């Protein structure tokens, strides 16, 4: 595996992580409305935010890897 191939693979893995985090956030968003008000709903909402942030961070890292 040469350097360029390793960089492409790293970028692909970052984008895969972003897609997985985005999918988790989307699924959680659908569940939040079905949860009773309270701690479980708050935790789900916090996880939605964290998953969206993780997806954003992975996409930014993938972009940085691609630019180098």
What pLDDT digit, counting tens, does each position of 8-53 carry? 999 999 999 999 999 999 999 999 989 988 899 999 999 999 999 9
Tokens 């916090």 -> residue? 46
What is the Cα–Cα distance from 36 to 24, expressed in whole angstroms? Answer: 20
Per-domain boundaries in the chain = 3-67
Task: Reply yes or no on whether the pLDDT at 67 is more than 90.
Answer: no
Rg from Cα positions in the chain: 16
Cα 17 off chain centre by: 6
pTM: 0.85
User: Phi/psi of residue 35, each to 5°?
Assistant: -85, 145
pLDDT of res. 33: 87
Q: Are 18 and 51 in contact (CB under 8 A)?
A: no
């Amino acid at each position: 595996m040469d350097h360029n191939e390793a960089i492409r693979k790293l970028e692909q893995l970052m984008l895969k992580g972003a897609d997985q985090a985005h999918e988790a956030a989307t699924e959680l968003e659908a569940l939040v409305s079905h949860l009773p008000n309270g701690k479980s709903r708050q935790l789900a909402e916090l996880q939605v935010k964290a998953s969206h942030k993780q997806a954003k961070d992975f996409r930014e890292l993938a972009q940085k890897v691609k630019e180098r």
